[in-house]
Structure 1
Amino acid sequence: MIHPGEFLTRDDPRADPFGERLRPAICMSRQVLGGRFRFESDSIALLELVEAAYGCLPAHRFPGLSPEFHVELRLVPRTAGSALTEPPPVRTQGGKGLLCGVVDACNYVLLVPAQRRGLVVVSEDMLAFPYHVRYELIEFAVFLLASRVLNLVPLHGACIGKDGLGVLLLGASGAGKSTLALHALLAGMQMLAEDSVFVHAESLLATGVANFLHVKSDTLRFVDDPAAREWIEQAPVIRRRSGVVKHEADLRGRAGLAAPAPLRIVAAVFVTDEPGDATRGLLDSIPWEFAAPMLADDQPYGSGQVGWDRFVQKIVRAGVYRLRRGAHPRDAIRALAPLFDCARGAG
């Protein structure tokens, strides 16, 4: 409260209770998911996390679309008495054109897609959890802004590609999508994204962030290339909220692994734990009357977004398949190869 006769200076925190006059000292621009993101902050630590996530990525653009986004990253004082072993999960909220993700009172994201703007607030103690800050706060802002402004259908899944064509890998967590993505790379293909894919429904052009590949140690028994094994084994280890521990291998230090431009999706493949056999093989087509509900069940968030119905119409027409597990992951990659060949021939 301001008492009669009391005057406030510009430096008095009561004169700017919302921090609106703060001016970030450093700006960084990165082309991500078809948009130009301008990150502003006075915290080198937060900008280093942006660079770790989006530095040295291929600059994906959609024809005729190149919006600019502004995201402010604000570091606030350490939370009193905090001694967390893991931050609480993000809670989401939205309404009246605003989207919000909240960890606690000092760690949250506020987005205004109509204005292409976002605010990411991080407390100093959260810097001890760079994986969570990067994926659950910074990525939250970037992914939501890009998908809402560019009208992209967000999908939980991976996407591998070749010669400008892409195949979506869908299915439950733990089904083996990351393992297949690794062996696709070892077979000379490229990766568009490992965990989140964003598709323009009308063109079926897809983009993603091909920065890291997450691989469990027990899957390395299938990697015959000593150099590839060493690359993954020397990568940092992260622990996901599910408790799963994986190597986080950076793709950007190895030339040619990331798709250089958006890929045209030619098929969607549900990866399953069901073993294949000599009679049925590994890959079979899913009839259209079953494909649409399977897609909706697999993508509860994406199925509620603008463009979903058109995406389903287009992808069902392109082809939806089921992939069974082979004796070795490279068997599954061989089973997927005809999808690229047929699409290339049809094009």
Structure 2
Amino acid sequence: MAHSADLPTGELSPDPFLERTPERCSMDVHVLGVHVRFHSDSAALLNVAAMAYAGLPPHVLPVTPPDLLVELRLGPARVLPPGHEPPPVNLQSGAGFLCGVMDACNYAVLFPEQHRALVVASPDMLERPYHLRYELIEFSVFTLATRALGLAPLHGACVGWQGRGALVMGDSGAGKSTLALHSLLRGMDFLSEDAVFVHPESGLATGVANYLHVQRDALHFIDDAGQRRWIEQSPTIHRRSGVEKYEVDLRDGRGRLAQEPLELACVVFVSRQPAENPQDLVRPVPAGELLPRLLAEQPYAASQLGWDAFVQTVERRGAYELRRGRHPSDSVDALLQLLG
């Protein structure tokens, strides 16, 4: 986007909206069952998109999706002093557009009906690839894909066994990431740690198995020294909540990434509450509790078109509460019993 300060003094710019900016590079990826093409005037910006989506298993859903186009544009000016965290994204909509705006030089504009998005970033955001990738690029792709395919966008993790998946929900700090980590280390199929997308009618779940975020204090449950080193050698990221986590890239072959969408077998609500009996961690969620719990956990998904069909799928397949055992491996055992 051109600003008045960018226009030459005393004359009009021949291209004030930057409509003829050359696109020097492109990349094609397959994400959430849809083909995405990235165009960019910056190889560095395209590399951030590759950090998110390169090397992922292609998933196919029972729907014919349109292709998505995302243009990545590098702005001319630095905005933030070194070391400063970028401002949070503000969301807005109107005239058929969806917008996610950090500031005047860092924003995303989405055109859902045209299956297109424009992401603009200032050069200093290349020094903050986590925020750029997660809050602008992934935000754009996920939003376009879920609306194009009619998916239910859910906050949670998903792991599986022999093609069947458990959708894991819970409050921040309840242990979703720890459970996902130990499920991966036990050889279960890993689908996603943070965002899961369910095709409501078929009950198939897809996601992006790129990174796992692990807090340092979770390492004392890992006995294998090689596994601990793998995590400790990963870069760290700082969440806006102030929590620091290792960002572990899962595409190096150390774990089993779900090669296909997982058939949703159940929803599991993880709880901070310890189990009274260490051998009895799981209880079914009564029918009358299920909808209120889903609404409390997933307010955004509940506003989307596929919500009712998703709830019906969960009602048919079952929901459970998983309380804490003495060790995360106890919770993995409980998941395997549910998926067996």
TM bucket (normalised to shorter chain) is over 0.9
Q: 1:276–1:324: 8 Å Cα contact kept in structure 2?
A: yes
- Give the stretch that moved more between structures: 248-257 or 303-312: 248-257
Equivalent residue for 1:187? Answer: 186
In 1, Cα distance between the equivalents of 2:306 and 2:255?
31
Shift of 1:95: 2.4
In 1, Cα distance between the equivalents of 2:78 and 2:103?
10
Q: 1:34–1:65: 8 Å Cα contact kept in structure 2?
A: no
Equivalent residue for 2:315? Answer: 316
In 2, Cα distance between the equivalents of 1:259 and 1:285?
26
Unaligned runs of 5+ in 1: 1-11, 342-347
Q: Secondary structure at the match of 1:143?
A: helix
1:5-44 aligned within 5 A: 14-44=13-43
Equivalent residue for 1:270? Answer: 269
Equivalent residue for 1:301? Answer: 300
In 2, Cα distance between the equivalents of 1:144 and 1:197?
12
Deviations 1:255-307 (A, max 9, x none): 55210011111100111100002288211000111101100111111111111
In 2, Cα distance between the equivalents of 1:225 and 1:13?
65
**What is the letter of the counterpart of residue 223 of structure 1?**
I
Identity %: 54
Deviations 1:121-175 (A, max 9, x none): 0011222211100100101111100001101000000000111111000010111
Q: Secondary structure at the match of 1:261?
A: coil
1:125-164 aligned within 5 A: 125-164=124-163
Unaligned runs of 5+ in 2: 1-10
Equivalent residue for 1:213? Answer: 212
> How many aligned positions are there?
330
Q: Secondary structure at the match of 1:138?
A: helix
In 1, Cα distance between the equivalents of 2:138 and 2:268?
25
Equivalent residue for 2:68? Answer: 69
| TM-score of the two chains, using structure 1 as the length reference | 0.92
In 2, Cα distance between the equivalents of 1:262 and 1:66?
15
Shift of 1:17: 1.4
Q: Secondary structure at the match of 1:224?
A: coil
Shift of 1:23: 2.7
**What is the letter of the counterpart of residue 330 of structure 1?**
S
Q: Secondary structure at the match of 1:253?
A: coil
| TM-score of the two chains, using structure 2 as the length reference | 0.94
Q: Secondary structure at the match of 2:257?
A: coil
Q: Cα distance 1:182–1:279, how it changes in 2: closer, same or farther (>3 A)?
A: closer
In 2, Cα distance between the equivalents of 1:279 and 1:219?
20
Q: Cα distance 1:289–1:206, how it changes in 2: closer, same or farther (>3 A)?
A: same
In 2, Cα distance between the equivalents of 1:229 and 1:80?
37
In 1, Cα distance between the equivalents of 2:51 and 2:80?
29
Q: 1:194–1:210: 8 Å Cα contact kept in structure 2?
A: yes
Shift of 1:13: 6.7
Shift of 1:110: 0.3
In 1, Cα distance between the equivalents of 2:237 and 2:254?
24
Shift of 1:337: 1.4
Equivalent residue for 1:285? Answer: 284
Equivalent residue for 2:237? Answer: 238
Q: Cα distance 1:307–1:64, how it changes in 2: closer, same or farther (>3 A)?
A: closer
In 1, Cα distance between the equivalents of 2:279 and 2:27?
52
Deviations 1:10-29 (A, max 9, x none): xx972221111223111100
Equivalent residue for 2:7? Answer: none
Q: Cα distance 1:245–1:84, how it changes in 2: closer, same or farther (>3 A)?
A: closer
In 1, Cα distance between the equivalents of 2:236 and 2:32?
26
